Chain A
Amino acid sequence: MKRPRRVPASPPALGPAQASRSIQTRRTPTRVVAVTGAASFLGASLIGSLEEDERIGRIVALDVTATPNAGKKTRSYDVDLTQPAAEARVAEILSAERVDTLAHLAFLASPTHATAWAHELESLGTMHVTVAARHAQVRKLVLWSHTWLYGAHPSNPNFLTEKHPLRAPLTEPYFADKIEAEDQARKLNERSPGAIVTILRAAPILGPNVRNAFTRYLAHRFVPTAMGFDPLVQFLHEVDAIAALHLAVVRDARGTFNIVGDGVLPLSTVIKLAGRVAVPIPHPLTELVGAAGWAVQLVAAPASFAKYLRFLCVADGQKAREAMGFRPAYTSREAVLDFVSAQRLRDVRLLSENRA
Chain B
Amino acid sequence: MTHKKDNLESNAPAPPTSAEGPRQTEREGASLHRRRRVRARRAARVRGEPPVSAVEPTPFSEGMEPLSDPNIADRIRQLEERLDQMIDARARLRDATGQPLPMSPARPERLPAYAAPEPEGVLGTARELLSIDFYLRQWGRLGLRSRSEEVDEFGYDPVYERKILPFFEFLYRRYFRVVTQGLERVPKEGRCLLVANHSGTLPVDGMMLRLALHHEHPQHREMRWLAEDAIFHFPFLGSISNRMGAVRACQENATRLLDRDALVAVFPEGMKGIGKLFRERYKLQRFGRGGFVKLCLRTRTPVIPVAIVGGEETNPLLARVDYLTKAVGLPYLPVTPTFPFLGPIGLVPVPTKWKIYFGEPIHFDRHGAEAADDEILVGRLAEGVRAEIQSMLNRALVERRSVWFG
| A10 contacts the other chain (CB 8 A) | yes
Please name the residue on chain B nearest to A276 by beta carbon.
B140
Task: Check B110 against A348 for contact (C-beta < 8 Å).
Answer: yes
The stretch from B7-15, B66-74, B176-184 touching chain A is B7-15
| B154 contacts the other chain (CB 8 A) | yes
B75: A residues at CB distance < 8 A: none
Question: Contacting B232 at CB < 8 Å: which of A311, A344, A349?
Answer: A311
A158: B residues at CB distance < 8 A: 153-155, 247-248, 252-253, 256
| A6 contacts the other chain (CB 8 A) | yes
A277: B residues at CB distance < 8 A: 136, 139-140
How many residues belonging to B are interface residues under a CB distance threshold of 8 Å? Answer: 46
Q: How many residues of A sit at the interface, in one of the four size bands? A: 35 or more
A8: B residues at CB distance < 8 A: 2-4, 7
Question: Contacting A226 at CB < 8 Å: which of B136, B139, B235?
Answer: B235
A226: B residues at CB distance < 8 A: 235
| A219-241 at interface with B (beta carbon < 8 Å) | 226-232
| A155 contacts the other chain (CB 8 A) | yes
Query: Once bound together, how far apart are the Cα atoms of A200 and B111, in whole Å?
Result: 40
B136: A residues at CB distance < 8 A: 277
A232: B residues at CB distance < 8 A: 151, 154-155, 242
Task: Check A269 against B153 for contact (C-beta < 8 Å).
Answer: no
The stretch from B53-61, B142-150, B364-372 touching chain A is B142-150
A154-B232, A229-B239 known; A333 vs B10 contact (CB < 8 Å): no
A265-B150, A272-B144, A341-B11 known; A228 vs B3 contact (CB < 8 Å): no
A158-B256, A232-B151, A232-B155 known; A345 vs B10 contact (CB < 8 Å): yes
A158-B248, A226-B235 known; A209 vs B4 contact (CB < 8 Å): yes
Residues of B at the A interface (CB closer than 8 Å) are 1-5, 7-8, 10-11, 25, 103, 105-106, 110-112, 136, 139-140, 143-144, 147, 150-151, 153-155, 157, 229, 232-239, 242-243, 247-248, 250-253, 256
Task: Name 5 interchain pairs, CB-CB below 8 A, sorted by A.
Answer: A272-B140, A272-B147, A277-B140, A333-B150, A352-B2
- Taking A154-B248, A208-B7 as given, write out 4 further A-B residue pairs in contact, using a Cβ cutoff of 8 Å, ordered by the A residue number: A154-B238, A228-B234, A352-B7, A354-B2
Residues of A at the B interface (CB closer than 8 Å) are 6, 8-12, 154-155, 157-159, 161, 208-209, 226-232, 263-266, 268-269, 272, 275, 277, 282-283, 311-312, 333, 341-342, 344-345, 347-352, 354
